[in-house]
C-alpha cells in the first residue's frame, strides 16, 4: 500500500508526507487487483467496515482497477460479494442496507493491463475527473494505492514480499523508484491482529511480565500456526513458495520480533520499528540441523499434497516446518524460539506459548511448568498456566489458569479485522504496524540460506517427512520440540474457556 499526492514533481504517483492521526479529506483509494480474491475477501470488506462506522475520510472515493473486463453492476457484485450483515451488532445492522448502497455510490471501476500504459492513463484521467468534480483543479490530490496483486503482475505481491534476499531487494528497488519509504506501507496483516498489537502493552505495561521475560526464567518459546486444510486446488501457487515463505518468514517472524523486542522509547512508529530491527539483527541464519520438514499425505477421503493436480509431480515442497531461531542478545541468549507452521493439521490455531523453567525441586515432585499462552486466533485470549492446591484435606498441586478470554471479558467490544486496522493506520499516516525496508531485509537474511537448501540450490533438496492429513504433524515433532527443552503437558489439564473446546494435550 502506498500514499501519494498528485501535485508533486513526479507526475501521477508522487510523494506525500504522513499526516499523523488526522484523516486527510477528499482521498481516493485505488485498489489494484480489484477482481482478485484478496480484494474481494479482505480489502473491500475492510473498506466497507470502516465506511460503515464512519472511519473513512470525508468525501472518499474508491476506484477498483484490474484486467478483468466488467461493467459497474458486475464490479459492485464482486465488491460486495463477501460483505455480510452482522446481526449481533444491532446498531450497525439497522443501517447496513443504506450503508451498502452508499458504499457502491462512492465506488467505480477501470479495466486495464498492468504492463502497458494505456490502462493507467485511463485510470489517471478518471482520478483527475473525480478530483476536479469535488474540489477543483487547485486542491491537493490525496491518493492511496492498495496493491492487492499476485506475484506475476507486480513487484508488490500481497505475501510474501519476494522469494529470498536478492529478489526482495529487487522488488524494493523497483518500488523505491516510484515511492519513498515514508509513503510505503508494507502490509503483513498479522501486525493488524488484536493480540499481536496487545503484546507491547502486555510486555511493557505489566512489571511482573516484563521482569520475567528473559533467559533467567524462560525455558523456550513456541510460535505455532496450524491450518486444518490443505492446498485445495491452490497447489501451484503454494508449491512456488512453500510453508516457510507463506507463513514463517513474514507472519510468525513479525510475531517473534514484537514479542522479543526491547522497550521502545515511545509508541511512535520509528521507535517501535527500530527495536524490532535491533532484535532481528541478533538472530543468525537458521541452521539446517534446527529444522524439521513435513509434507501431508492422504488419510481416508482427504487427499495428500501430491494428489493435488495443481502440484508438480514428485514435489519436495514442505507443507509443514518446525525450526528453531536463537536471539543472541543479553535478554534471550540460549532461549530457543521454536517456530511451527503447517497445513492439513488437526485444528485451526495461531498462538504463542512461553514456557517457564522448572520450579525448584525438593518439596515438589515433577510439578507442571508455568506457561504464558497468547491465543492469536481463533477467539483471542491470554492465559497463564499455574499450579494451585486442589481444595480439600490433602496437599495436592493441580494445574489451573489465570484466564483473560476476550469474548468473556470484553463483552461489548468490537474487535476490528486486521485489514480494517491497517488500512485505517495507513490513512492516518501511522507506520507503526507496517514493515520497514531494513526490517524486511534482515528477516530475509535469516531465512534465505535455509530456503536455498530446501529449494535444492545447495545440492540435493531435503525430503520432507510424511504426515497424515488431520494429524499433529510429522511423528518426530514431539522429539524435535523436547530436544530444545519443551515439556509437553501429559496430564488431563484442559483450558476450559476456548470456544472450540481445545485440549492442551492436543497442542502441536
| CATH number of this structure's domain 2-158 | 3.40.50.720
Which pLDDT score is estimated for 234? 81
Instruction: Please tell me whether the peptide bond between 160 and the residue prior to it is cis, using omega within 30 degrees of 0.
Output: yes
Q: What is the pLDDT of residue 367?
A: 87
Helix (H, G, I), strand (E, B) or coil at 433: coil
For domain 190-503, give the CATH number: 3.30.360.10
Q: Could you say which of 61, 126, 189, 251 is catalytic?
A: 251
For residue 409, which of 442, 445, 383 has the smallest C-alpha distance? 383
pLDDT in tens, the chain (508 residues): 777 654 433 333 333 333 345 577 789 999 999 999 999 999 999 999 999 999 999 889 999 999 999 999 999 999 999 999 988 788 888 899 999 999 999 999 999 999 899 999 999 999 999 988 876 556 667 899 999 886 554 443 446 788 999 999 998 998 899 889 999 999 999 999 999 999 999 999 999 999 999 999 999 999 999 999 999 888 888 998 999 999 999 999 999 999 999 999 999 999 999 999 999 999 999 999 999 999 999 999 999 999 999 999 999 999 999 999 999 999 999 999 999 999 999 999 999 999 999 998 888 877 899 999 999 999 999 999 999 998 999 888 888 899 999 999 998 888 999 999 999 999 999 999 999 999 999 999 999 999 999 999 888 889 999 999 999 999 999 999 999 999 987 656 777 654 434 434 444 4
Give the Cα separation of 209 and 211 in Å (integer).
Answer: 5
Domain ranges of the chain: 2-158, 190-503
- Kindly report the CA angle at 284 between 214 and 331, in degrees rounded to 5? 15
Q: In which element (H, E) is residue 338 found?
A: strand 336-342
pLDDT value, residue 492: 60
**Number of C-alpha atoms within 13 angstroms, CB side, residue 142?**
20
CB 173 within 8 A of CB 359: no
Euclidean distance between CA atoms 172 and 169, whole angstroms: 5
Is residue 462 exposed (0-12), middle (13-18) or buried (19+ Cβ within 10 Å)?
middle
- pLDDT value at residue 289: 96
SS3 47: helix
Distance CA 368, CA 31 (A): 51
Q: What is the pLDDT of residue 504?
A: 42
* CA gap 30, 364 in Å, rounded: 62
In eight-state DSSP terms, residue 74 is H
Q: Packing angle between helix 44-52 and helix 418-428, nearest 10 degrees?
A: 70
Distance CA(423)–CA(321), nearest Å, equals 31
Rounded Cα distance between 190 and 223, Å, is: 13
Q: Which helix (H) or strand (E) holds 401?
A: strand 397-405
Cβ–Cβ < 8 Å for 123, 110: yes
At 138 the pLDDT is: 61
Catalytic annotation present for 251: yes
In DSSP notation, 100-124 reads HHHHHHTEEEEE--SSSHHHHHHHH
Amino acid at each position: 500500500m502506498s500514499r501519494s499526492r498528485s501535485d508533486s514533481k513526479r507526475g501521477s504517483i508522487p510523494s506525500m508526507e504522513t499526516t499523523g492521526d488526522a484523516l486527510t479529506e477528499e482521498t481516493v483509494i485505488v485498489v489494484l487487483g480489484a477482481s482478485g480474491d484478496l480484494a474481494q475477501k479482505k480489502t473491500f470488506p475492510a473498506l466497507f467496515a470502516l465506511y460503515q462506522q464512519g472511519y473513512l475520510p470525508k468525501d472518499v472515493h474508491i476506484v477498483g482497477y484490474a484486467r478483468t473486463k466488467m461493467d459497474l453492476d458486475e464490479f459492485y457484485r464482486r465488491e460486495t460479494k463477501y460483505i455480510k450483515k452482522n446481526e449481533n451488532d444491532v446498531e450497525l445492522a439497522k443501517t447496513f442496507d443504506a450503508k451498502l448502497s452508499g458504499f457502491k455510490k462512492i465506488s467505480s471501476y477501470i479495466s486495464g493491463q498492468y504492463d502497458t500504459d494505456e490502462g493507467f492513463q485511463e485510470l489517471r484521467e478518471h482520478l483527475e475527473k473525480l478530483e476536479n468534480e469535488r474540489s477543483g483543479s487547485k486542491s491537493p490530490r490525496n491518493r492511496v494505492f492498495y496493491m492487492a496483486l499476485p506475484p506475476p503482475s507486480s513487484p508488490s505481491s500481497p505475501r510474501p514480499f519476494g522469494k529470498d534476499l536478492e529478489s526482495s531487494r529487487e522488488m524494493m528497488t523497483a518500488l523505491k523508484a516510484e515511492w519513498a519509504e515514508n509513503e510505503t506501507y508494507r502490509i503483513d496483516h498479522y501486525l493488524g491482529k488484536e493480540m499481536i498489537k496487545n503484546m507491547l502493552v502486555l510486555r511493557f505495561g505489566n512489571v511482573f511480565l516484563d521482569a520475567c521475560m528473559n533467559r533467567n526464567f524462560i525455558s523456550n518459546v513456541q510460535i505455532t500456526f496450524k491450518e486444518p486444510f490443505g492446498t485445495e486446488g491452490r497447489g501451484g501457487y503454494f508449491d512456488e513458495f512453500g510453508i516457510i515463505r507463506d507463513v514463517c518468514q513474514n507472519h510468525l517472524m513479525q510475531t517473534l520480533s514484537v514479542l522479543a523486542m526491547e522497550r521502545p522509547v515511545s509508541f511512535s512508529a520509528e521507535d517501535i520499528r527500530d527495536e524490532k530491527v535491533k532484535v532481528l539483527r541478533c538472530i543468525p541464519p537458521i541452521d539446517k540441523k534446527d529444522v524439521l520438514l513435513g509434507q501431508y499425505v492422504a488419510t481416508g477421503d482427504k487427499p495428500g499434497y501430491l494428489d493435488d493436480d495443481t502440484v508438480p509431480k514428485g514435489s519436495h515442497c514442505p507443507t509443514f516446518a518446525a525450526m528453531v531461531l536463537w536471539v543472541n542478545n543479553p535478554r534471550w541468549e540460549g532461549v530457543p524460539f521454536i517456530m511451527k507452521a503447517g497445513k492439513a493439521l488437526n485444528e485451526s490455531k495461531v498462538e504463542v506459548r512461553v514456557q517457564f523453567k522448572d520450579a525448584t525441586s525438593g518439596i515438589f515432585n515433577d510439578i507442571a511448568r508455568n506457561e504464558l499462552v497468547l491465543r492469536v486466533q481463533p477467539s483471542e485470549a491470554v492465559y497463564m498456566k499455574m499450579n494451585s492446591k486442589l481444595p480439600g484435606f490433602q496437599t495436592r498441586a493441580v494445574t489451573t489458569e489465570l484466564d483473560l478470554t476476550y469474548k468473556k471479558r470484553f463483552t461489548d467490544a468490537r474487535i476490528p479485522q486486521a485489514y480494517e486496522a491497517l488500512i485505517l493506520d495507513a490513512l492516518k499516516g501511522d507506520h507503526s504496524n507496517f514493515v520497514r525496508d531494513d526490517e524486511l531485509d534482515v528477516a530475509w537474511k535469516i531465512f534465505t540460506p535455509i530456503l536455498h537448501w530446501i529449494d535444492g540450490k545447495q545440492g540435493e533438496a531435503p525430503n520432507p517427512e510424511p504426515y497424515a492429513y488431520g494429524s499433529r504433524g510429522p511423528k518426530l515433532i514431539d522429539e524435535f520440540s523436547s530436544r530444545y527443552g519443551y515439556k509437553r503437558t501429559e496430564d488431563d489439564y484442559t483450558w476450559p474457556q476456548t470456544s472450540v473446546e481445545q485440549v492442551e494435550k492436543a497442542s502441536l
